[in-house]
Chains A and B, each alone.
Chain A
Amino acid sequence: MRWVKQTYDWLEHRLQLEGPVKDAALHPVPRNTASWWYVFGSAAFTLLFLQIATGILLAIVYVPSAGQAWNSLNILNHQLELGWFLRAMHGWGSNFMVAIVLIHMAQVFMFGAYKFPRELTWILGVFLLLMTLGMAFTGQVLRFDQDAYWGLGIGASIMSRVPVIGGSLVHLLLGGPTIAGATLSRFFALHVFVIPGAMLVFAGLHVWMVLKLGVNEWPMPGRIVKRATYEKEYHDLSHKDGVPFVPVALWKDAVFSGAVIAAVAICAFVFGPYGPGGQPDPTIIQTVPKPDFFFLWIYAALAYLPPALETPFILIVPVIGIAVLLALPFYASEGEKSWHRRPVAVLTLVSVAVGWGVLTHLATYTPWSPHMDAWSSDPVPGKNLHNATPLVREGAVVFQGKQCRNCHSIGGAGGERGPALDAVATRLTRDQLIFKVEFGGGNMPAYGKNLSPPEVEALVSFLETLHPEHEAPATDPSRKEVQDAAAMAGAAPATGAPSGAK
């Protein structure tokens, strides 16, 4: 084994890395930072390398050309041994990376770790978050299927709304006026060279600063950060009550990173790769494109905004959001770090998380979009046709044929744009149903001109049967009074007048 030592000495004599590495590994950190709360940053770093490794392997097979990208993904999925698993690792690795980066950011925010002297670490982190999201988006585009194609179209139309230079930006993004061959090459270059290169530099500096400035100490209520005294206090803390970074803190990082990689592998094995979905061909209109999970919230926010607010929202909110994130360490570079004394920070984080969660949840089932094939594919539930009269059956056919089902569900199937109609007869009387069908109201278009009178009659007869068994349909009391009066008027002559009179 002497030759190993000799080789090592030969290299060390020239590289002289031993000293700096030892310094970095053994530098003392405050004892309570060796906590399970401090493992997310290193996990994100590990995932970055997983993505690079799997990405290089994918790049060997992937063809970044509009005509062949989709086919090369299918070759990976079906013709190459474990090609599907490689794609799945890269796809799930991306999901985990975005999630871990967001958790890391939330944790850093909660622990006040962005305060003096770690402002620049935070700022680089903000850019790393943006680059992670940029990787997620460009990666979605490289999975060149219908979702990618239309997602790109939406990205381009967002760009085109920038005043004055919008058109040029779109040209720059797509490599021309339309999504074509040059577009995919451009996104390939972004996804494989430009963004990962920048990410490595930024992540390197980010870690360098963590090593140089020290791991943020566990925040204690009342331990106030002051520019003048902080660095001395931190030095004392880490040296008087410190532990060496390796191995006391690092083993938790290593265990967590290993667990995350295992989780990625399990998800890849169980859930498989993402797509590719249908071919990226704009002539195929039978498609319901959706962005990937982490952009669903934008999809929902844009769907719910009134049209007049779309452009301001798209162009101003991201700028404000990023500016706020960048300004945060300067605005709050001193003061309390503990979340016990920072109610505004806690509320902000909770509001953002809840808002994000709600929008994402909404976007997973898109209640604003009609189900365009519900009319021909979702059968009318058997219980709604059991013992139905011929007219009611025809009404159900009208209900399907005129595509009411695309916006209104029955029995849990159908669109969610309008209200579910399982109990509509308990809400609307016959006259109200007719009025609603004929004239619409709210979001509902008027169908009077598209339906013949018999069709309306049949449709309303069907709708009148839609009520739970134990709940009577809505009735108009005045109708009953009129009927009673008519019955009284009819009954009176029958008893009072001679039976022959008519």
Chain B
Amino acid sequence: MRLPLIVAAACALVFSVSGCTRAPGYPTEEALRPQDQLDFHVLYSQNCSGCHGAKGQNGAAIDLANPEYQALVDDATMKKWIIGGMPGTEMSAFGASAGGMLTDTQINALVAGMRKEWSKPDVFGGQTPPQYAQDKAGDAAHGHAVYMTACASCHQQAKQQITDANYLALVSDQALRSIVIAGRPDIGHPDWRNDVPGKPLSAQDVTDVVTYLDSLRSQAEAK
């Protein structure tokens, strides 16, 4: 008769000491309506990690965890791409106003979360990067020259072909420009300062090299 009593006492003790809220079976928080979910990590892992990678890097699409990219893109632009998708790329529209599932509040939470997780102060070390958006026309011929000195050493290898017409058809000029300026540290692509070590590309160089790549597109279409 002793044993059951001891077991019962032990159970009661465990119950009272651990507290019922710390029992393994204690229920999780009540389920939210999907549009009330504002936790950045949940939102990111449900909506973004498929293409941009589990922690904002090593995904198929651009690495959002790159602090230079975070510094380059302002909130309004980031929101615009999330809500309506990015024209000329595979980035889809996620905003409810554009047929997606996310409310404005949720998109604000996503942007704020990315800033909090992945922004770093003074990431450009006092230097001013070329503007995010292209502001004047470029020169394809000069762009080709820049390409040959700054890009070709890597991109002429078969494994890194970006002059392929199919590739260029799937990325927008803006997407190319973002990578040229901010780089993709997760796959070893340098930023605009380090394409040629010690000799940062000028704003005009960046515009021209993107113009050159764009000219390859129209050549391919002409064919």
Interface residue ranges, A against B (CB under 8 Å): 74, 77-78, 81-82, 84-85, 88, 145, 268-273, 275-279, 281, 284, 286, 373-380, 382, 385, 387, 389-391, 393-394, 396-402, 405, 452-455, 457-458
Q: How far is the CA of A81 from the CA of B47 in the complex (A)?
A: 37
Contact indicator B90/A397 (Cβ below 8 Å): yes
Which B residues lie within 8 Å of A398 (CB)?
Answer: 90, 170
Contact in complex: A394, B25 (CB < 8 Å): no
| Contact A270–B24 (Cβ < 8 Å) | yes
Can you name the residue of chain A whose Cβ is closest to the Cβ of B37? A286
Taken together as a complex, chains A and B put the C-alpha atoms of A373 and B37 apart, in Å, by: 15
Contact of B164 among A84, A379, A391 (CB under 8 A): A391
Q: Assess A379 versus B24: contact at CB under 8 Å? Given A398-B90, A401-B90.
A: no
Sample of 7 more A-B contacts, CB < 8 Å, known A268-B25, A390-B167: A84-B26, A276-B31, A389-B159, A390-B162, A394-B60, A397-B60, A401-B51
Minimum CB distance partner of B20 in chain A: A82
Distance (whole angstroms) from the CB of B85 to the closest CB of chain A: 10
Question: Which residues of the other chain, A, contact B61 by a CB distance below 8 angstroms?
Answer: 393, 397
> How many angstroms between the C-alpha atoms of A281 and B58 in the bound complex?
37
Q: What residues of A have a CB within 8 angstroms of the CB of B165 in the complex?
A: 454
B50 in contact with A391 (CB, 8 Å): no
A to B CB contacts below 8 Å, 27 in the list = A77-B27, A78-B27, A78-B29, A271-B24, A272-B23, A273-B27, A279-B33, A284-B33, A286-B34, A286-B101, A376-B46, A376-B47, A376-B48, A380-B50, A390-B161, A391-B166, A391-B167, A396-B60, A398-B90, A399-B60, A400-B51, A401-B90, A402-B90, A405-B50, A452-B169, A454-B165, A458-B170
Report the separation of the CA atoms of residues A145 and B31 in the bound assembly, to the nearest whole angstrom.
Answer: 10
A286 to chain B: which residues have CB within 8 Å? Answer: 34, 101
Q: Is the CB of A374 within 8 A of B90?
A: no
Q: In the assembly, what is the distance between CA of A202 and CA of B146, in Å?
A: 89
With A84-B20, A378-B50, A400-B50 in contact, do A391 and B161 touch (Cβ < 8 Å)?
A: yes
The secondary structure that dominates the B interface is loop
Known: A270-B24, A378-B50. A390 touches B164 (CB 8 A): yes
List residues of chain B with CB within 8 A of the CB of A88.
25
Q: How far is the CA of A84 from the CA of B47 in the complex (A)?
A: 32
The answer to whether residues A390 and B31 also contact, given A273-B25, A380-B60, A397-B51 and a CB cut-off of 8 A, is no
Give the CA-CA distance A301 to B76 in the complex, in Å: 50
Q: Please provide the 9 A-B residue pairs with the shortest distance between their CB atoms, ordered closest to farther.
A: A272-B25, A396-B60, A454-B169, A401-B90, A454-B166, A457-B166, A376-B50, A278-B31, A286-B34
The chain A residue with its CB closest to the CB of B171 is A394
Asked whether B161 lies within 8 Å of A380 as measured between CB atoms, the reply is no
Alpha-carbon gap, A376 to B59, bound state (A) = 12
Q: Is B98 an interface residue (CB 8 A)?
A: no
**Contact present for A377 and B49 (CB under 8 Å):** yes
Verify if B122 is at the interface (C-beta below 8 Å from A): no
Given the interface pairs A84-B20, A400-B50, A455-B170, the reply to whether A389 lies near B31 with Cβ below 8 Å is: no
B170 touches A269 (CB 8 A): no
Number of inter-chain CB pairs below 8 Å:
131
Tell me how far the C-beta of B15 lies from the nearest C-beta in chain A, rounded to whole angstroms: 8
Q: Which A residues are in CB contact (< 8 Å) with B101? A: 286
Query: What is the bound-complex CA distance between A278 and B37, given in angstroms?
Result: 12
How far does the Cβ of A414 sit from chain B's closest Cβ, in whole Å?
A: 10
Q: Which residue in chain A gives the minimum CB-CB distance to B157? A: A389
Residues of A with C-beta under 8 A to B160? 389-390
Q: Shortest beta-carbon distance, B165 to chain A, in Å?
A: 7
Residue of B nearest to A77 (CB): B27
Distance in Å: Cβ of B18 to nearest Cβ of chain A: 10
Q: B54: CB under 8 A from chain A?
A: yes
A341 to B23, CA, bound (A): 50
Nearest A residue to B189, CB-CB = A390
Interface flags, B30-42, vs A, CB<8A=1, else 0: 1111100000000
Are B58 and A385 in contact, with the CB atoms below 8 A? yes
Is B119 positioned at the interface, with any CB of A under 8 Å from its CB? no
- Residue B92 is within 8 A (CB to CB) of chain A in the complex: yes
Judged by a CB distance under 8 angstroms, whether B138 is at the interface is no
Q: How far is the CA of A379 from the CA of B51 in the complex (A)?
A: 6
B45 on interface, CB distance cutoff 8 Å: yes
The yes or no answer to B53 lying at the interface (CB within 8 A) is yes
A433 CB to closest chain B CB (Å) equals 15
- Of chain A, the residue at the smallest CB distance from B23 is A269
> Which residue of B20, B29, B33 is within 8 Å of A278 (Cβ)?
B33
Find chain A residues with CB under 8 A from B48 CB. 376
Cα-based distance from A398 to B89 in the complex (angstroms): 9
Per-residue 0/1 for B207-220: is the Cβ within 8 Å of any A Cβ (1 yes, 0 no)?
00000000000000
Q: CA–CA, A394 to B61, complex, Å? A: 7
**In the complex, are the beta carbons of A277 and B170 less than 8 A apart?**
no
Between A271, A286, A379, the greatest number of chain B beta carbons within 10 A of the residue's beta carbon is seen for: A379
- In whole angstroms, what is the CA distance A398 to B92 when docked? 11
A278-B33, A454-B165 given; A379·B27 CB < 8 A: no
List residues 83-104 of chain B with CB under 8 A from any CB of chain A.
90-92, 101
- B90 lies within 8 A of A269 (CB): no
Bound Cα distance from A437 to B60, whole angstroms: 20
Closest Cβ–Cβ distance, residue B22 to chain A (whole Å): 11
Assuming the contacts A78-B30, A284-B33, asked whether A374 and B50 have C-beta atoms less than 8 A apart, the reply is: yes
Within 8 A of A (CB), among B133-165: 158-162, 164-165
CA distance A172 to B45 in the complex (A): 44
In the complex the two chains form, what is the Cα distance from A396 to B60 in whole Å?
6
A454–B170 touching, CB < 8 Å: yes
